[in-house]
Amino acid sequence: MKSKKANWLFLVIILVHIAVVTLLYWAGDRITFSIIANFLLSEAIIIGPAILFLLPMKGRVNEALGFHKIRISTCFMIVLFTILVMPLVTVLNALSLFFTDNAVAAMQDDIVGVPLGVMWFLIGIYGPFCEEFVFRGVLYTGYKRTGKVIGAVLLSSLTFGLMHMNFNQALYAFAIGLLLAMLVEVTGSLWASTLCHMIFNSLQVCLMFFSDWLVDTFYGGTLPQTEISNVELMAALSVYLVIAAVTTPIAICVLAWMAKNENRVEIIRGLRIRKEGQGEYLISIPLITGIMLCLGYISLEFIL
C-alpha cells in the first residue's frame, strides 16, 4: 500500500468514528451499548476499513503487514522492554493530567464490572491486535514506502495518538507509537509490537482489577472520591521521572540487543541512507483533513 492510500485509510477511519459517535448521540437512549459492545465496536471501526483497503492485495497481505517470525529469546526481551518503558509512559500520562482528565480511569468502574477474563481479552488481546494491524502494519508500512523511515515512524505514531480522540491518551499514545515502531524495525516483525502492546494493556487491566479488589477488601467497596491535587500529582511525577530516567536508557539498550539478536543491525544502519521513493510523499490532503477532524473532535470534547 502506498503512502497516499494509507492517508486515505486514516481519513476513512476518522470519518467512520465521527459518523458512529454522531449517530449514537442523536439516537440518545434508543440505542445503548454495554462496555463490551463499545470495545468491540471501537476496534471494529479501526480494523474494518483496513481490511477493506487490503482486499485488492490478496496474497500480498503479509507483505503489507510484516507478521514475520521472531526468536523466543527476543520475545522475553520484549517483556522486559515493556516493563522498562512503563515509567516513561506514566510520566507522560501524569503530565497530561495537569490540564485534562484521565480517560482510562473514567471507565474503570464499568471495566471492573465485567469479568476479568472478558476485559483482558478485549483490552489486552483484541484491542492491541487490531491497532497494531492498522497502525504499525498497514499505515507504517505504507509510509515507509516513501523511504522516509523517521517520518514514517513519527507519522504513524501521530495518527495512532490522535485516533484515541482525547488529549489525555493522545500524548502518551504518541510516545507508545514511537516505541512500538522502533520495535518493529529492530525485530523486523509486527509480532514484536503486537506482543509489547498486549503486555502493556494486559498489565493495565490487571492493575485496575487489583486496585478494585484492594478497595473492596480494605474499604468495604467504597473509597472517598477526592481529586488529586496538583501538588500530589507533581510529587508522583517527580518520583516517576527519576525511575524513568533509569529505566528508559536500559530499554534502549534492550532494543539494541534485540536488533543484534535478530541480525538486523546492518539493516537498521541502512535505514538512515535509504533513498526516497519516487513521487511519493508522506503528507497529502486526506492526511491533513483527518488530522484536522481529529483535533476538532478532541477540542470540542475537551470544551464540552
The three-state DSSP-derived secondary structure of 84-111 is: HHHHHHHHHHHHHCCCCCCCCHHHHHHH
What is the reported pLDDT for 267?
85
Can you give the pLDDT at residue 274? 53
Task: Measure the CA–CA gap between 86 and 103, rounded to whole angstroms.
Answer: 17
- The answer to whether 204 touches 123, Cβ cutoff 8 Å, is yes
Tell me the C-alpha distance between 142 and 154, whole Å: 13
List the one residue out of 167, 197, 156 whose CA is nearest residue 96.
Answer: 167
Mean pLDDT by groups of 10 residues along the chain of 304 residues: 91 95 83 86 95 81 81 96 96 88 82 92 96 95 90 95 91 95 95 97 93 75 62 88 96 96 89 59 93 93 76
Confidence at residue 275, expressed as pLDDT on a 0 to 100 scale: 53
Mutual angle of helices 230-261 and 72-96, in 10-degree steps: 160
So what's the pLDDT on residue 99?
Answer: 83
* pLDDT, position 197: 97
Alpha-carbon span 139 to 6, nearest angstrom: 5
| Residue 214 confidence (pLDDT) | 81
Encode the chain in three state secondary structure: CCHHHHHHHHHHHHHHHHHHHHHHHHHHHHCCCCHHHHHHHHHHHHHHHHHHHHHHHHHHHHHHHCCCCCCHHHHHHHHHHHHHHHHHHHHHHHHHCCCCCCCCHHHHHHHHCCCHHHHHHHHHHHHHHHHHHHHHHHHHHHHHCCCCHHHHHHHHHHHHHHHCCCHHHHHHHHHHHHHHHHHHHHHCCHHHHHHHHHHHHHHHHHHHHHHHHHHHHHHCCCCCCCCCCHHHHHHHHHHHHHHHHHHHHHHHHHHHHHHHHCCCHHHHHHHHHCCCCCCCCCCCHHHHHHHHHHHHHHHHHHHC
